[in-house]
Amino acid sequence: MGSNPTPRTITKPPAPASWAIEHGFWLKKEGYKESTIERRVRILHTLAKHADLADSESVKQALARIEWSDGTKELACDVYALLAKSRGIEFSRPRYERIEKIPFIPLEAELDSLISGTGPKTGTVLQLLKETGARIGEVWMLRWIDIDLENRTVTFTPEKRSRPRQFKVSAKLTSMIGATIKKGLKVFGNGNIEKFRRNYEKQRRHIAEKLGNPRLHQIKMHSFRYWKATYEYHKTKDILHVMRLLGHKSIQNTLRYTQLVDWGAESDYTCKVAQSLTEASQLIENGFEYVTEMNGVKLFRKRK
């Protein structure tokens, strides 16, 4: 008499890591921005290393273990929720919530040290971020037809439902852009924006160590936008001006950017004298502001 065979337990194979790539193609078809797709795919790749994407409970356990901030975990929940919905997977979101923090506002001298210390391409991107307060995604998508070197204007196509803007830029920035090698329709080529971001972080780390200034480690590319908004509001006290500069449609978004910062005493200014129209024009192009006229010369100042 033969023995009964041992019942076989059929286990569901884990979701393949290719789900992240497939989801990226789906996001592209749905019209998501390239930078958004790259970040979402990267998050899914990380989750796939720690969990079975087909098992929402496994994903929740992985989120509890991964050393991400609550803000990143909240975003990861958004990312996975959309994947789960597209795959017909039930997902009960865990309670992660972004904690609102005052952003780090660097000094102008610190921004300038990064601009001058990085390579030509990175330095040009950073100078654009400083002068315009644009998002890195807007700068990265710039085409040569958006640049008017003769009139020194840069026109941005908006992202994240912002407004289009045009800026008059400095002669310094115009020269930097003009020296950029043309490799296609886009000013900065068709490279991967995340690869560019990692390269910036590597250069930033080297400069911070060289100058002995650990504050530089905190300067992300978005920090240039925070600095521009805060500086412009301090200078003009005009929240609507800052709102238009940033391309916001809601003033509530602008209020998060205009932080209360102690810009220092009057001694924190560099003062220059212009004795001619040419000298005055050069000072203005270099970021100096007119103060007054005394003894036939014009006085300008700029924060250190």
Q: What confidence score (pLDDT) does residue 227 get?
A: 94
Q: Is-above-0.75 flag for pTM?
A: no
Burial of 161 (0-12, 13-18, 19+ CB in 10 A): exposed
Is pLDDT at 7 greater than 60 in this prediction? no
Q: What is the share, in percent, of the chain residues with pLDDT greater than 90?
A: 38
Domain segments of the chain as ranges: 18-87, 108-257, 266-303
Average pLDDT over residues 72-98: 88
The per-residue pLDDT for 262 is 55
What is the side-by-side strand order in the sheet with 289-294?
Answer: 269-274, 297-303, 289-294
Answer whether residue 131 shows pLDDT above 90: yes
Say if residue 111's pLDDT is above 90. Answer: yes
Task: Say which range, 59-63, 117-121, 122-126, has the weakest mean pLDDT.
Answer: 59-63
Q: Which CATH architecture has domain 108-257?
A: Orthogonal Bundle (1.10)
Lowest average pLDDT, out of 18-22, 44-48, 174-178, 215-219, goes to: 18-22
235: tokens are 């200078």
What pLDDT does 265 receive? 47
